[in-house]
Each structure stands twice: as C-alpha cells, then as structure tokens.
Amino acid sequence: MKTQVCIIGGGPSGLLLSQLLHLKGIDTIVLERQSRDYVLSRIRAGVLEHGFTELMREAECGARMDEEGEIHEGFFISDHEDLLRVDLHKFSGGQTVTVYGQTEVTRDLYEARDRMDGTVIHNVEDVVLHDLTSDRPHVTYRAGDETLRIDCDYVVGADGYHGVSRKSIPKDVLKEYEKVYPFGWLGVLSRTKPVSPELIYARHERGFALCSMRSQVLSRYYVQVPLTDKVEDWSDDAFWTELQRRLPSEVAGQLETGPSIEKSIAPLRGYVAEPMRYGNLFLAGDAAHIVPPTGAKGLNSAASDIHYLYHGLLGHYRDGDDSGLEGYSEKALARVWKAQRFSWWMTQLLHTFPDTIAYDRRMQDTELAYLFSSEAAQRSLAENYVGLPF
C-alpha cells in the first residue's frame, strides 16, 4: 500500500489528524492495534478547551458536540468545608470549556472517517517503523499470518504512551523527562444526576476527589487512592462512602449514588519526550507526553500538537513550504511544557502526599488560602484551565 501520511494509532489524535488532512485532499492510512469497540470502551477525558472544539468543527465533526456538549463557565474547588467558585468566564475574558466525553469525540471522529471512506485498519499487530531518516519511510504490520507494507512520505506516531513510535527513536536522540506520583485515581461512572452542575475539585486530608460528569444523567467521580489499591478492593458502597467523606458536607448531602457502570484506576504521571520529530516521524499526543489528569490537559495538549502538525503538513503539500514541519517539535513542546506546569501545579495543590513534611503541608494550606482570597490568582488559574492559545 501507498499513502502520503501513515498514522499509527486510532485514538483521538490520529483520527482527528487523518480527518483534517483528508478534507484537504491529503491521503492517510490509520493503523490501530485494538478493535473499534475496545477504543470506544475507554472512559477518559471529559473537559475540552475551546481550541479542541474549534478543531473538531474544522474537521466537520462538531455537530453532535455542539448539540449535546455542556458549556461550563466555571468550576469549584473545595478545601474541607470551604468552597470556592472559579469564574472562568469572568477571569478569562469570556472563555468557557465544553464537557463532552472523549468516548463521544472518538465516536464522532470514527463516523466522519466512515462517511469519507477513510482508511482505518484495526487489530494490526507488530507495527514496525522503517527508514525514518530516509525520504521514503515505510511501515510494516501483521494481520493474521500476513505481513503488509505501507510506503509513505511521513509517519505520525499518535499511538499513545505505550505505543511503538516513540520507541523507534534511538535512545541517544530522545531525551525523556518523567515524574511519577505516588498515587492514582479510582474513577467511577454511574447513571446518576451529577452532584453539582459544575465540576468540583476537592482537597481533603483523606485525599483528593473530583466530581465530574458526562451529562445531566451520567456522573463521573474520582478519588485519590494508593498505587497498591486494586479496583476489586473497592465495592461501590466503599467508593460512595469515601467520596462523601472528602466533599464539603453541604455537597455530600446531595450526592445521588447508584451502581457503577465502569470502575478503573489510573496512575498519575508527568512525562515529556524531546524532540517530537525524528527524520520523517512526528510524534503527537500521549505518544510524546502525559500529564496527571488534574488540570484536564491531556487530550487538550494533543489538540495543539495536531493543530501544528496539520498546518505543517498542509504547508508542505499545498505550498511546498516545510517551515511548519521544521518548527513543529519546538513549537509543540513550548505549549506542552506549559500544560505540564499547570497540571503539576494543580496536582501538588490538591492531593495528599504520603510522607510529606509539615512545612510542605502548611505551604499547601497557604497556597489554597491565597487562591481563595486573590482574584489575581484565580485569573491565572482560569487562563490556564480554559487553555493557553495555540
């Protein structure tokens, strides 16, 4: 097979890029290791920045998101019994975020790829990237007993943190930065009315908790747990009891509980790989960087990568101008690091760290007290939460 851009990974990053390029007449093939049903069963992001929603509209995939997504003009932070509303709209010059699940984003992208007869090949095994520093890179993969080959101009590694693309960059070229947190998030999805019309990020000495949602009848909640905990350790009852204990009592009293329809634990880490280009391979999204979910920046950081890469590839194919591709890694990384900084700050502000020293606990108290009392601090939080410009 031959294509212009071979995209490894059929998650939101790969599908969005494929759709945007196809609309400009640039041919792509997407290779995905899992089945479509499997990809659509992963419950992940819930909060989309304006930049992401704009890209979805540009990809002609925004109709259902605009109809069913909820616009949020603010969110809450609680510290034991104290509750602060951060007015995103007021402090960010009228900007908002959209609550619309990654599962729905991905479903909309798959449907758009189907409508346009885009090539997305599922259940591929043993993907190998070849000749990345030559003018004619190629990709091989296995489907059953057969090994197939795709010749292309460029390879895009959008295959997530555990993908093969980043691992194809020689060790002496790649510089990795990593921070592993000593806890994870236990997440529960339930068919219940969300406890609050806006998200609540809760700090509590027992550990962090988050009240989020997918719609007015579908709630998503998280509690901080030790890395040693297993999903099986947590009955639904134990989860609801723990969540209630970490919320201000006026909120806890309103919590509607019900059976969980999904329950999973995600470890928290910050990670960046530099550079995001090696020869004719470009990395995008979780393949190049991971943030702890506290700032809701993972998928949104993928969106800025896709924006820069899309425009770089468009410059190459439409105008014969390679400056966008040349500058891709540096430009993408500048924004990636700002999302890392914000996610790191939110994480250390709101979580309970094991073995923390008394001085650091006081510093966390004081940082929160400052945030609760200072409009300047809330403005900075709002500017980052709605998303820095691309």
* Beta carbon of residue 9, minimum distance to ligand RFL (angstroms, whole number): 3
Confirm or reject binding of residue 297 to ligand RFL (CB under 6 A). Answer: yes
Can 72 be counted among the known catalytic residues? yes
Q: Which of 110, 154, 201, 222 is catalytic?
A: 201
Pairwise CA distance, residues 63 & 67, whole Å? 6
* Catalytic, out of 138, 204, 289, 297: 297
Residue (215 or 352) nearer to ligand PHB, CB: 215
Given 22, 50, 72, 138, the catalytic residue: 72
Q: Measured between alpha carbons, how far is 279 from 184 in angstroms, rounded to an integer?
A: 36
Among ligand PHB, ligand RFL, none, the one that 309 touches (CB under a kind-dependent 5 to 8 A) is none
218 binds, among ligand RFL, ligand PHB, none (CB under 5 to 8 A by kind): none
* 201 counts as catalytic: yes
Residues from 22 through 61 that contact ligand RFL (CB under 6 A)? 31-34, 39, 44-47
C-beta closer to ligand PHB: residue 46 or 69? 46
Q: Which residue has tokens 């988050």?
A: 210
Q: What tokens does 155 get?
A: 């390879």
Residue with tokens 């093939």: 29
d(CA 385, CA 90): 13
The closest residue (CB) to ligand PHB is: 46
Whole-number minimum distance, CB 385 to ligand PHB, in Å? 9
Query: Which partner from the list ligand PHB, ligand RFL, none does 276 bind, CB cut-off 5 to 8 Å by kind?
Result: none
What is each CA distance from 233 to 17, 44, 229, 335, in whole angstroms? 39, 21, 7, 38
Q: How far apart are CA 349 and CA 215, in angstroms?
A: 27
8 Å CB contact between 299 and 45: yes
Q: How many CA atoms lie within 13 Å of 81's alpha carbon, on the beta-carbon side?
A: 2
32 binds, among ligand PHB, ligand RFL, none (CB under 5 to 8 A by kind): ligand RFL
Verify whether residue 162 is a known catalytic residue: no
Confirm whether 293 is a catalytic residue: yes
Catalytic status, residue 297: yes
- Find the Cα–Cα–Cα–Cα dihedral 27, 29, 35, 230, rounded to 10°: -100
Contacts of ligand RFL in 93-152 (CB under 6 A): 102, 124, 127
Residue 13's binding partner out of ligand RFL, ligand PHB, none, with CB under 5 to 8 Å set by partner kind = ligand RFL
Catalytic residue among 293, 317, 331, 351: 293
Task: Match 């979805």 to its residue by tokens.
Answer: 56
* Residues that bind ligand PHB in the complex, under the rule CB under 6 A: 45-47, 199, 212, 220, 293-294, 296
Maximum alpha-carbon separation in the chain: 64
Ranges assigned E (strand) in 21-137? 28-31, 47-48, 70-72, 74-79, 82-87, 97-99, 119-121, 125-130
Q: Which residues are catalytic?
A: 72, 201, 293, 297, 385
Residues found near ligand RFL in the complex (CB under 6 A): 8-14, 31-34, 39, 44-47, 102, 124, 127, 158-160, 162-164, 185, 187, 266, 285-286, 293, 296-300, 302
